Amino acid sequence: MKNFTLKILLSGLAAVSLCAPFAFAAKPVPCEKMLSELQTTMATAHLNDTDNAKVKELEKKGIERCSADDDVHADQIFAEALKIMGK
């Protein structure tokens, strides 16, 4: 029984050690890149006044987060604006 338990523990550790490098591989996109995509999309988007105001407000909030080196939240805000524009 001890050998069986030890094998399970070792196999679990092996699985974690194999997956660990991939956990850090998913880095946020630089917010400047997302901002560029947002602005390019905004230039050609045909939005009603309400959606246009929402997108501009999200752009402003995203730029604030980007300026604060908070790429993760800036990217989330920019993604929300892109979603409004159908991207």
Q: Decide which of 20 and 27 is more confident.
A: 27
Pair 75, 34: CB distance under 8 Å: yes
- Asked whether the whole model's pTM tops 0.85, one would answer no
The pLDDT of residue 33 is above 70: yes
Instruction: Kindly state the average pLDDT of the residues 54-80.
Output: 96
Residue 27: pLDDT band (50, 70, 90) is low
Q: Which two tokens stand for residue 52?
A: 């246009």
Q: Which residues contact 65 (CB under 8 A, 6 or more apart)?
A: 31, 71, 73, 74, 77
